[in-house]
């Protein structure tokens, strides 16, 4: 039976380290307040002019390609996950294709926010298993720092997010002791607006109680002064509501993956949760009764890099020798939409 394996993995984070103390220049906050609520000590911010979501993805991709033992021209498909693309359109996938001078291959962009990389991995897995492609480049990359509200008004969101990218090369394998065992994808749009960026958007007068968020005159539909005055061009998050949902769906989707393969939490060698909030990860660890050596977190250093957080954490854990050949690895994510997902694999 044909399976997909991660043949190469890479990550890239910007050089600019932004500490909690640095943020106090712009908003009423402090290190203790941020760490207590999120676990974050610092994060990375991309260069304002030289680094973009796509360029960071390219740097991570170069490392993954080299570690896979192939050259860029061997890549036959791209799946790029992000919520912060370089352009409103086109997507980042084609920018990677151009930058790496790849063949005229397909490029697919995934918009599933924090769950984006696991969704992208699942999509790529299907293409590999059917034999359609043999070397798929899967990237998760984010440049949040360009679009956050760095004021006391926006501090609950701004202190959480950071920039960075991770990438893997997926290849086929017939080794029964290696590869992706299963992926599991879910969504529930009932509370979509409690973690969202309302504008720019085309939702005026279409979403009931949220219609007033986009009352714009002709010629102002894309972005009006009123939208900017109301801070609707920045992300909005009802943190407590998101937390309550996440701590339920995170362990659920991990257990779903384990049960689908006749396994239990004690079988996991390494759980890589999406780096949303250290408190969420710790709660999930307790729920699943996992030891500290079975869960990898690096939100303390990088913040929440949404679609990039799973591949960055996976790459860093592997580089530190915490993931070895034959290990059972579970990837799990929960985020805006709501969407949540898991992937179980043998390294």
Peptide bond into 338 cis (omega under 30): yes
Catalytic residue status for 315: no
Catalytic residue status for 205: no
Element spanning 345, H or E? strand 339-346
- Could you say which of 20, 112, 114, 156 is catalytic? 114
DSSP 8-state class, residue 320: T
- Could you say which of 20, 92, 304, 330 is catalytic? 304
For residue 99, which of 51, 135, 147 has the smallest C-alpha distance?
51
- Could you say which of 135, 184, 274, 297 is catalytic? 274
Domains of the chain: 3-173 (3.40.47.10), 179-190+237-346 (3.40.47.10), 198-233 (no CATH)
For residue 314, which of 306, 305, 327, 323 has the smallest C-alpha distance?
323
- 3-class SS of residue 138: strand
For residue 77, which of 134, 117, 141 has the smallest C-alpha distance?
134
Per-residue model confidence (pLDDT) at position 91: 97
- 3-class SS of residue 111: coil
Query: What distance in Å separates the CA atoms of residue 133 and residue 126, rounded to the nearest whole number?
Result: 10
Contacts of 206 (CB under 8 A, 6+ apart): none
Per-residue pLDDT of the chain (347 residues; tens, 9 = 90+): 799 999 999 999 999 999 999 999 999 999 999 999 999 999 999 998 889 999 999 999 999 999 999 999 999 999 999 999 999 999 999 999 999 999 999 999 999 999 999 999 999 999 999 999 999 999 999 999 998 999 999 899 999 999 999 999 999 999 999 999 999 999 999 988 898 887 776 665 444 444 444 454 555 555 566 666 666 667 788 888 888 999 999 999 999 999 999 999 999 999 999 999 999 999 999 999 999 999 999 999 999 999 999 999 999 999 999 999 999 999 999 999 899 999 999 99
Per-residue model confidence (pLDDT) at position 238: 85
pTM: 0.93
Per-residue model confidence (pLDDT) at position 203: 64
Instruction: Indicate the length of the chain as a whole number.
Output: 347
Q: Give the residue carrying structure tokens 């979509």.
A: 192
For residue 183, which of 261, 122, 140 has the smallest C-alpha distance?
122
Per-residue model confidence (pLDDT) at position 223: 58
Peptide bond into 200 cis (omega under 30): yes
């Amino acid at each position: 039976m044909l399976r997909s394996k991660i043949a190469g993995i890479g990550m890239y984070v910007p050089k600019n380290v932004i500490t909690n103390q640095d943020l106090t220049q712009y908003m009423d906050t402090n290190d203790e307040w941020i760490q207590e609520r999120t676990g974050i000590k610092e994060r990375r911010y991309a260069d304002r002019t030289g680094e973009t979501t796509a360029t960071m993805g390219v740097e991570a991709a170069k490392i993954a390609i080299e570690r896979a033992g192939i050259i860029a021209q061997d890549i036959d498909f791209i799946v790029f996950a992000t919520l912060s693309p370089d352009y409103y359109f086109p997507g980042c996938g084609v920018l990677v294709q151009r930058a790496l001078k790849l063949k005229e291959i397909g490029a697919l962009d995934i918009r599933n926010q924090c769950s984006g990389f696991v969704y992208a991995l699942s999509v790529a897995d299907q293409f590999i298993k059917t034999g359609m492609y043999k070397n798929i480049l899967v990237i998760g990359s984010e440049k949040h720092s360009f679009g956050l509200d760095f004021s006391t008004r926006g501090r609950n969101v701004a202190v959480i997010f950071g920039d960075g990218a991770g990438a893997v090369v997926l290849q086929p394998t017939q080794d029964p002791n290696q590869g992706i065992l299963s992926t599991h994808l879910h969504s529930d749009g009932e509370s979509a607006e409690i973690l969202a960026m309302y504008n720019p958007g085309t939702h005026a007068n279409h979403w009931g109680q949220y219609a007033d968020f986009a009352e714009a005159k002709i010629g102002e539909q894309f972005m009006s002064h009123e939208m900017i005055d109301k801070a609707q061009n920045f992300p909005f998050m009802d943190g407590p509501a998101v937390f309550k949902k996440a701590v339920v769906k995170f362990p659920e989707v991990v257990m779903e993956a384990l049960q689908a393969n006749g396994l239990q939490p004690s079988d996991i060698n390494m759980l890589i949760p999406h780096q949303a909030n250290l408190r969420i990860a710790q709660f999930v660890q307790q729920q699943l009764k996992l030891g500290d050596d079975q869960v990898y977190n690096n939100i303390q250093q990088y913040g929440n890099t949404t679609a990039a957080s799973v591949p960055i954490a996976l790459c860093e854990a592997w580089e530190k020798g915490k993931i070895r050949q034959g290990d059972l690895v579970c990837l799990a994510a929960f985020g805006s939409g709501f969407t949540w997902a898991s992937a179980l694999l043998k390294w």
